[in-house]
Structure formats: C-alpha cells, structure tokens
Amino acid sequence: MSSSRTFEDKQPQRRASSGFEFLKGVGQVTGGTLLSITMLASSIVAGGLVGLAVSFRNLPDVRQLRNFFPSETTYIYDVKGKLLTSIHGEANREVASLDRISPNLKRAVLASEDSHFYDHHGINPVGVGRAVVVNWAAGGVKEGGSTVTMQLVKNLFLTRKRAFTRKIAEGVLAIRLEQILSKDQILEMYLNQVYWGHNNYGVQTAARSYFNKSAEYLNLGESAMMAGLIQAPEEFSPFVSMKLAKQKQKEVLGRMLELNWINQQEYDNALKQEIKLGKIKSFQGSALPYVTNAVAQELAKKFGRDALLKGGMRVQTTVDAEFQQMAEQTVSKWHKSLLGQGLSKNQIALVAIDPRTHFIKALVGGVDSKTSEFNRATQAQRQPGSAFKPFVYYTAFATGKFAPDTTVVDAPVSYRDGDGWYYPKNYDGGFSGSMSIRQALSVSRNIPVIKIGKSVGMNKVIEACRTLGIMSPMEPVTSLPLGAIGVTPLEMASAYATFANYGWQSPPTVIVRVTDSSGNVLLDNTPKPQLVLDPWASAAIIDVMRTVMTNGTGKGAAIGRPAAGKTGTTSSEKDIWFVGTVPQLTTAVWVGRDDNKQLASGATGGGMVAPVWRDFMQKALKDVPAENFKPPSKFPRPKPN
C-alpha cells in the first residue's frame, strides 16, 4: 500500500510558529510567560517520550504494519463493468495509493491536522507543549496535540479513551512507526484508514460518496470540506448541514492561507466553487439482488465470509445487467398473466446458461426481489416431473442398446415396490401401445420411461444425474423416472446445457473473474470444458427433444429456429416446468407456489410455462443468428455394454 512518490508540497512556504494563534489570550498568562511554559513543557514531554520509548515494551509491534492491509469493500460488476453492488462489513473502504489522491486534499488534511508532518519524527514537541498549556488553562482536555502519525497508531492499535497514559503510548508508537515507514507511506496509510463519516473509511469511498468522484480529482473547495470532516465527520457532514460544512471548509482554507500553502486568489476561488453532492453509498441495496446474492454465496464458499466483507475483491460476473433486467421484466409480466389464468400466489424462477461456457447469463429467483430475496433459482428444490425423463433416456442411449427409434410398449404394468405394489399411470389415464422412444418422450408418456429406467437400472440413471451436477437426494425407486425428487432450476438448466454441448461441461458459475484491489487475479473461471457424457447419446437426446417442440407437448415453446426442450408437470400440479435450449443458450423456467400447494387444476408445463420460455428466448435471441444442432450421426455411437 506504499508509494514511491514524494508528497508534492513537502516544504511549502510557511511561517513557523506564527501560525499557531490558538495560544493568544489563554487565561491570564502573558505572551512571554506562555512561551516559557510552552518551551519547558515541550522539552519535558519530548525527553520523557524518548525515555518511555525504551521502557514501553508491552506495546504493539508496529513492524507488522509493513505488511498491513486494511479491510476493503468488495465490488461486484456485470460482465461489461457496470457496478451492481458493494459488500462490506463495518468499514466501507477502497484503498487509493498516495499518487492517486489529489494534492489539494493532501495539503488540506495536513494543514488541518499536522502542518509540521514532514518535519517531525512522530511527535511534534511544540504541538504537544501547546496542548499541555491549552488544556491546563481550560482545566480539561481541549486540544490533543496529536500528529498524523499519532492519530494513525491510535486508530490501528489503541482505544479511543482519552487518557494521559494512552497519549504517551501514542507518542511512543508514533516514534517507532516513523523509524520503519517513510513519511509518504504513513500519510498514505492515514488517508486510507481515517473515518470520514457515513460508514466511509479512507479517502476514495469518502470522495465517491460526498462528491461522486475519485479522490484523484477533488478540487480545492471539495478537499477543504473533506479535511474539515475528520474531527467530527457526522456533525460537519454536508449531507447533514451544508452550513456547518462550509464553515469548516472556510477554517481549513484559512489555515492553508495562513501557512502560505495557497494564495488569496486560490482561497477566494475555493470558497466560490460549487459543491455538487453525491449520495451516501454504504449499505445500499443491489441493482440485481438475485445475481449479486448468488455471487456473494459463491465467494463466501470459495474464500470465506471474512474475505468477502473485508478483502476488497473486484468481481466480474457473467451477467449483462440489461439482459438480466429483461429476464426479470419477463418474469414479472408472466406472473401477472398467470394470475389472470387462475394461478394464484404463483412464483417463477428462470435460469439461462450459455452451454458453450456454462456461464450463467440470467438468474431470476422470483417475481419480485424487493418483497422476497429468497432465490428459488438456486435454493428451491422442486420436483421436475416429466422434465426429468431426458436423463433416463440419455442413460439408455449411452449404453449403446437403445436409440431414438427403439420401440417400447405403453401398456399397463405393475411393480413390486417396497412392501406394496406400484401401478404407474399416464397423465391422461390411457395407454397407447407400441411407440418409439422419440414418440414416447414427445408426448410425455410415463409407462415407457419407467420401463426403460428399469431396463438400464435406476442406479445408472442416478449416476448420470450426478455427472450432470444434480446433487439432490435420489433413491433407485420405480417412480424416479417421473421426477419424484427435488432439483433446483439451476441444476436443470446446467444439465440440459451439457446435453446441448454434446457432453462437454464446465462448472456452472455466475463469476468470470475475481481480483484483489491491486489487480492480482484470485479466481479465473475461464471455461475448461471436460467431456463427461457420451457425445452421441447427448446429441441423440437433443434430437429427440427437438421433436417435443415440433410435434409434442412443447409446441407452445416453438421459436422459429432449431430448439430442443421438455415440459414438466407433477401429478399434483404443484410444479410446472419448461426446460429448453438452442446451441447458444439453455433456459429453465419453473412455476410453483412457495407453500407447495396446487397451482390450479389442469396446470401444465406445456400450456402455461412453455409460452414464458418462448417469450424470454425470443427476446434473448433477438440479434443472435439461428444455428442447427449437430445430428447424432456426427458422433460415433457407443458399443452395447
């Protein structure tokens, strides 16, 4: 956090002690007597502190500050660099190097807090002596006499209790600190450590909050106003009282003029400069809470919550803010539409993933993040119903024993299941006889998929699901192929995306890259795809799901370009789905109620969710060229095993 540059105005023209007008008229002490007392007190204090520096061996070791990193705010951006939110604990701080801080601000702070900063060695004997006299005359603590170095060690190591012993400790630590750090390093650390009010720690966050600009570009008027905040930030804050803030600004400018650090023209111009206030930014809400909350959870899991709140990470997400807002608006629109269709209290979750990278492009966890930030896209485990069937058929295709044209009989069947018998039924209660797997999936028949699942083995189906990233509890029961498990929309979208990428998979993520505040890369999620599924079987299930959208239950999702997908409806009509994909984008849409009650009699994924998917995909793909999927014939078919 140090800077090799030298403070620009280390030796400004100034009058030595004539600037300290505070001493005039204190009590009944005459000027000559006051000077004598001040010199005597200065000598005693200076000599005493040097001696104490040897004896105070139980004080903190200031050498650790060589590697000190203050807590910093974490910033989360969209894929194009738009700030979405900031995350921090108590301290909202963004560290700025000394050469990126306005010279105006550095001069103003030193004029106000420690005009002899570049001359002393941690303590200013004249200042301490003056404080002794002022406090003696006042009968209490009125002036501290602290240098910038003393204030820094107080903030870092000591309590804020005003006591003589603490003041001695400040002096001792200040002397030690000046022996191991340069003046510029100390000033940089101080400016980044000091509290500026409204939860802003350090000059950068304060400048952005008060004036909506970087600390590098503060003019003289703004700098003087900021310097005036240090002693009582909330009292003199321009957000609280512009009158008091201007009063302190004038005092700081007057001190700078007195020291000859600015001239009369600069003083006059600074007082006239218009102050354009920013806004208080600490603990503000997120622009896209479903996205940023998911990011925060991923960061906390990877780095720990302490690093998230204090580590000053810079996070680039995979999401375009405008694209996400379009997705949220689509969900809100269809929520109202479905209410009109009798689906009271409906919630909707939507996840869109690029199957080529497994980057999440949209993540909508509910109909309104302002009323509920519970992220149903990543946290709600709901039954997928028939949207689970492609996993069973993929497993069959991967054995090499089945193909889309394999015949299966849709007829009554019964299975011993635990202590009783299980009699599976189709949604319409009837049976259709012999049909191909393609047709069975197209019209979403239940009996055929159970037969295929039993044939290949339910444990193999579970194994395929685990490979696809579905981690919910699963038992190899007869009803498994009908989706009698809990999954999240994110799991469903990611699994279908792996099919769409012909078996190649990267971990789904909402984060592209994470760096620290200095630009060092902490996490790089550049896709590193691995082939986890059989390519022919993946292409085959995509090919079959294309039929779902052209001739089956998913016709309501047709978008006028090659697409594959599957409807999902649970027998109790509590969860309805549509999950579908084009080569460039995979999207899962779920509709249900938080209380897990029936949506409405006759509610189906094909009738009520497919139109939501279609509407979103048409908007999402507006400027994206249509692409064809690769046919299964492009890949070698697995040998039967």
Q: Give Cα separations from 571 to 299, 427, 568 (angstroms).
A: 38, 7, 10
DSSP string covering 33-61: HHHHHHHHHHHHHHHHHHHHHHH-TTS--
Quick one: tokens of 502?
A: 């012909």
386 is known as an active-site residue: yes
Q: Is 442 exposed, middle or buried (0-12, 13-18, 19+ CB in 10 A)?
A: buried
Distance between CA atoms of residues 576 and 450, nearest Å: 20
The SS3 of residue 196 is: strand
CB 424 within 8 A of CB 518: no
Distance between CA atoms of residues 106 and 217, nearest Å: 12
Cα angle, residue 168 at apex, residues 34 and 174 outer, rounded to 5°? 100
CB 100 within 8 A of CB 216: yes
Distance between CA atoms of residues 1 and 140, nearest Å: 38
Distance between CA atoms of residues 423 and 416, nearest Å: 9
The SS3 of residue 213 is: coil
Distance between CA atoms of residues 278 and 200, nearest Å: 13
Distance between CA atoms of residues 8 and 102, nearest Å: 10
354: amino acid identity, one letter? D
Distance between CA atoms of residues 544 and 306, nearest Å: 48
543: amino acid identity, one letter? D
Which residue's structure tokens are 């939507």?
Answer: 350
CB 538 within 8 A of CB 502: yes
Which of 386, 442, 444, 479 is the catalytic position?
386
CB 254 within 8 A of CB 205: no
CB neighbourhood size of 329 (10 A): 13
Distance between CA atoms of residues 538 and 504, nearest Å: 9
Which of 42, 86, 112, 113 is the catalytic position?
113
Phi-psi region of 488 (alpha: psi -120 to 50; beta: other; left: phi over 0): beta
Q: Is 87 exposed, middle or buried (0-12, 13-18, 19+ CB in 10 A)?
A: buried
The helix (run of H) or strand (run of E) holding residue 268 is helix 264-272
Longest dimension (CA), the chain: 116
Distance between CA atoms of residues 147 and 214, nearest Å: 26
Rg (CA), the chain: 34
CB 557 within 8 A of CB 563: yes
113 is known as an active-site residue: yes
CB neighbourhood size of 138 (10 A): 12
Beta-sheet pairing, 200-201 with 92-93: parallel
Distance spanning both ends of the chain, measured CA to CA: 62
Distance between CA atoms of residues 443 and 453, nearest Å: 17
Please identify every residue annotated as catalytic.
113, 386
